[in-house]
Chains A and B, each alone.
Chain A
Amino acid sequence: MLFNSIPFLIFFPIVILIYYILPGKIKRLWLLAASYFFYMSWNAKYVLLILFSTVATYAAGRLMERAKEKKGKKTILILVIAMNLGLLFFFKYFDFVLSNLNAVLRILHVQAVQSPFSLLLPVGISFYTFQSLGYTIDVYREKIPAEKNFLDYALFVSFFPQLVAGPIERSGSLLTQVKECSKKRLWTWDGISSGFGLMLWGFFMKMCIADRISIFVDAVFNNVYACGTVETVLGAGAFAIQIYADFAGYSAIAIGAARMMGFTLMENFNAPYFAESIGEFWRRWHISLSTWFRDYVYIPLGGNRKGTFRKYVNLMITFLLSGLWHGALWSYVFWGAIHGFYQIAGSVLKPVREKAVKLLKFREDSFSFHFGRKLITFVLVSFAWIFFRMHSLRLSLEYIRRMFVKFNPWVLVDGSMYNWALDRREAGILFLGLFLMLLVALLREYRKTDIGEFLLKQDLWFRWLVFILLILAVVVWGEYGINFDSSKFIYFDF
């Protein structure tokens, strides 16, 4: 049940209306039932996986709390991590490992190993596995007490707005809210209004921007040999926008949906393309995942506490794992490696950079200086996205080669770009959408607020006008329907 599907448009209002009127204690049960129904709508059989992960981490939490010795606690922790990551490995990386093994065997002229399984990646497994592991580690670290109520914990793991693609919540936040929801009314009228606005904006980002620009992106990435410098450069930038509009759009819907029920989910994006360095980009992009890796991988590895070299090693390990988390392909690993490299190079070259700034007399407080840094960061990030999008190292390199060998600036002025993927009308809608997205990003950057909260502070007529225009834009201009097949959220595959 995709967010941008008719079943969800039926499911969600029913769930929240009943949620509003049910008494406190039953609210949780209702949300739990709704969340499991939501998950089972993808593939009913895989409910066993989430149930297993829930039971295992719940039991581990309780056992760790009772264990008197640290060694015992550690054993339980390692066991439960191994079990959860084992499941994740089996469903997500088994075929990947096998294909790599077969590649080696081929070189050795040994017969390939056939996979005995036909596996479909369970939706959201990477997200809920990490969420429940985060809880387990927090209990181990005694940051939070183990949850006693199994149903509350089950709801924490399966809460439907963020179940399939995050944000990956921390137990300290979401689990606390789950428990509170039976004691007091969490939802407010303002929350409904602001959450509704945020959801509409998310639908707009996903359906009007991401899915529209994806038509251009697909045309470029699927026809590299028909493209020259202009198309490949624009294509890389366009994919950067697509993946942002897609995932930030999804996150806005998830956060908005939770907000309508009175739950606060963590922000997942903070105007990432306004970042002035790769490090800052990762503090603004997919925040719930990058902080997860920071808290549960980078810092336990030693972080920056064990000298510069170890810091670089830790950074690289973290980004390689982050790449692998996104998918079982070498191109994702390579994408992670590029970001690790960016960070290390940025750190190593910092003195050189500072010297150059002084030498060239750049004004560090000027708009142009900050704009230049943002632009460079965007270019670096977009470059790395090529490997992410291409799914093949060889094709990624070919794509990059085409950027430099087929210089064709005339396509920008002879109108031929419009005869290809998006005509003038579609491009016009896209540019309007991009302009609005820029406005909302500026709102985020300078007012430190999201569009839902911003609209809440406006007069009623303006809020309603924006709501209605967004609804109409989505239902008319949104990319959906029978002939449209790219409406799946990109991050659902991770």
Chain B
Amino acid sequence: MKRFVQILVFLLLAFFCLLKTYDIICWKDTNVSFQSCVLQLEETPEDTVDVAFVGSSHVYTGIYPAYLWSDYGISAFDMAICAMDRDSAYYSIKHLFKSQSPRVVLVDLYALTYEKHQYPDNILRNYLSFPLSEDTYPALKAYAAKDPAVSDNMLDYLTRWPIFHTRYRELERRDFVNDETALAARGEYLNWAANAVTPLEPDPFEPELGNEDQLEWMKKLKTICEENGAQLVLMALPFQTDYDDQHLVDYASVFAEENGIPFFDFNRRIDEVGLDYSTDFYDDSHMNAYGAKKVCTFFGEYLKENYQLADHRGDPKYAIWDEDLRYYSHRRDGDELDTIQELEPFLDKLMQMREVVTVISLEGVYDSHALYESLKVLPGMQEADCEAGAKWLWEDGQLTLLMQNDLGAPAYIRELDDYTTLQVRFNGDRIGGGNIILGRNDYSNYEGQLRIVVYDPVMHRTIAAREYTYW
């Protein structure tokens, strides 16, 4: 009996270790936001999502729930994964309904074009994102029908270890500890980069019937939404369509009309929404934050008008949307700051930012008056300190003198977050003297006499490092 208990305890211990290892090594969507929307959904309190957007990268680059939250108080979520095929879309919605009761489910129709574009690798990434459940096997069977690589290796895909155990080669800190910024995101992928794109003109023609699979898929979506008390909305977010793609979208519009399903084809609503091909896109198929803002405003108005959704702002149950908005603001400010090179606008932007830590360092021989003239916009800046050479901390509107450049001055050390320790000291006026160290990176004055380093402890990253010369 004693031995039997021993074996049982050992098996439990081994199982626990395997489970913990699984958590570390399991698939995370490292290509996009590191955590897949499935993990973000797990972090979301039950029955808080009022509106779900389902689809591929078109959705996570084109719909920012943060906009709908900040402007309308709508708790929206992007159930979006790379190149979502029709089966993934169906099982995504099914998974969503297990913990949420959205009033409206908006499904992007790019999945209709799967046969044409085909991203089998992404399908498997998507599959691996979902937790094991009663849907695992049917989903896998559906994928196997499309991809012999799956059907030939069903056991490997079912058990998953054989697929992702090689992730030990790419593990990073975020695999071991929860990354709260990624988990609080609402499925979106933030991107402010703009590239001018050339649209293809949709051909006006009479829509024809698509294939049976496509029709069946839309029927299944309608049924599952009806069964769960949600209104299905079909949409095609803007992407560079050609004749065939548009054909399928138009085909879906007929189905939508016949079944009384609201339908939005944004390729045909570019002007109505105010989308600009020169500023609102990242590439031919994806919008950027500016485009997303316009589409979200369109949907915000539409949802407000048609569904009487409650404004949840201020409700502690929906705090995760506030967190998402907070992270969104940090990302936006960080990205914006990083694009500014000139000192004056750089300081202006810095003074507007909160929850960031800035180190300002003067070293070497410089024109102290000119330097003071540049820095005096910061409240509390003293010319005498500029003359002597000094290091300051700028944080939430407060300027703190850390030290004058005195070899005997004690080092300033501070834990900025769980990831990074800041060390500021004066080792003499030498290039790269180990005077400003963030984590393991040396940001000391290198060429310029004025060094400004900005770290965001909320996003756990250095968002800007500038040097300015004052001879």
Q: A468-B17, A472-B18 known; A480 and B162 CB under 8 Å?
A: yes
* Residues in chain B near residue A478, CB distance under 8 A: 165
Do most interface residues of chain B lie in helix, strand or loop, or is the interface mixed?
Answer: helix
CB <8 Å contact, B25 and A476: yes
Decide yes or no whether B169 CB sits under 8 A from chain A: yes
CB atoms of B163 and A475 under 8 A apart: no
Smallest beta-carbon distance B154→chain A, Å: 10
Closest to B165 in A: A476
Say whether, besides A464-B13, A467-B14, A481-B166, A475 and B149 are in contact (CB < 8 Å). no
Q: Which of B317-348 contact A (CB under 8 A)?
A: none
**B13 engages A481 (CB within 8 Å):** no
Interchain CB contact (< 8 A) of B155 among A7, A425, A467? A7
Residue of A nearest to B7 (CB): A192
Partner of B156, one of A6, A189, A425: A6
A433 to B153, CA, bound (A): 29
* In the complex, B159 has a CB within 8 A of chain A: yes
B440 CB–A CB distance under 8 Å: no
Partner of A460, one of B6, B153, B155, B169: B6
Known: A481-B166, A482-B149. A471 touches B156 (CB 8 A): no
Q: Smallest CB-CB separation from A425: which chain B residue? A: B169
A477, CB-defined interface residue at 8 Å: yes
Contact A482 B13 (CB under 8 A): no
Task: Report the minimal beta-carbon distance from A484 to chain B, rounded to whole angstroms.
Answer: 8
Q: Which residues of A contact B13 (CB under 8 A)?
A: 464, 468
Query: Which residues does chain B contribute within 8 Å of A475, judged by CB atoms?
Result: 18, 21, 161, 165
Q: Which of B21, B149, B162 has the most CB of A within 10 A?
A: B162
Check if B3 is an interface residue, CB within 8 A of chain A. Answer: yes
Please tell me if the beta carbons of A477 and B159 are within 8 angstroms of each other in the complex.
no
Say whether A189 contacts B18, CB under 8 Å: no
Number of interface residues of B (CB under 8 A): 22
A480 to B162, CA, bound (A): 6
Q: Let me know if A482 and B162 touch, CB within 8 A.
A: yes
* Bound Cα distance A472, B163 (Å): 15
A464 touches B10 (CB 8 A): yes
Q: Looking at the complex, which one of A189, A471, A477 makes contact with B168 (CB distance below 8 Å)?
A: A477
Nearest B residue to A471, CB-CB: B14
Encode A442-482 as 1/0 by CB contact (under 8 A) with B: 00000000000000000010001001100110011110111
Known contacts A467-B10, A482-B149, A482-B153, A476 near B168 by CB under 8 Å:
yes
Which of A7, A472, A480 contacts B17 (CB under 8 A)? A472
Residues of B156-184 contacting chain A, CB below 8 A: 156, 159, 161-163, 165-166, 168-169
B162 touches A476 (CB 8 A): no
Do B156 and A476 touch across chains, with their CB atoms under 8 A apart?
no
A467, B169: Cα distance in complex, Å: 23
Bound-state CA distance A112–B168 (Å) is: 53
Looking at the assembled complex, report how far the CB atom of B132 sits from the nearest CB atom of chain A, in whole angstroms.
15
Is the pair A472, B21 in contact by a Cβ cutoff of 8 Å? yes
Q: How far is the CA of A475 from the CA of B26 in the complex (A)?
A: 12
- Complex CA distance for A192 and B6, rounded to whole angstroms: 12
Residues of chain B within 8 A (CB-CB) of A471 are: 14, 17-18
Max count, chain B CB within 10 A of own CB: residue among A425, A475, A478? A475
What is the CB-to-nearest-CB distance from A44 to chain B, in angstroms, rounded to a whole number? 19
Q: Which of B3, B10, B155 contacts A6 (CB 8 A)?
A: B155
Q: How far is the CA of A6 from the CA of B160 in the complex (A)?
A: 11
Distance (Å) between the CB of A201 and the closest chain B CB? Answer: 16
Contact B10 A481 (CB under 8 A): no
Q: How far is the CA of A481 from the CA of B156 in the complex (A)?
A: 7
Tell me how far the C-beta of A323 lies from the nearest C-beta in chain B, rounded to whole angstroms.
36
Given contacts A6-B162, A475-B18, 16 further A-B contacts (CB under 8 A): A6-B156, A7-B155, A189-B3, A467-B10, A467-B14, A471-B14, A472-B17, A475-B21, A476-B168, A480-B165, A481-B156, A481-B162, A481-B163, A481-B165, A481-B166, A482-B156
Give residues in A with beta carbon < 8 Å to B. 6-7, 189, 192, 425, 460, 464, 467-468, 471-472, 475-478, 480-483
13 A–B contact pairs at CB < 8 A? Answer: A6-B156, A6-B159, A6-B162, A7-B155, A189-B3, A192-B7, A464-B13, A468-B14, A471-B18, A477-B168, A480-B162, A480-B165, A483-B166
A-B pairs, top 9 by smallest CB distance, nearest first, are: A481-B162, A189-B3, A6-B155, A476-B168, A482-B153, A468-B17, A476-B165, A482-B156, A468-B14
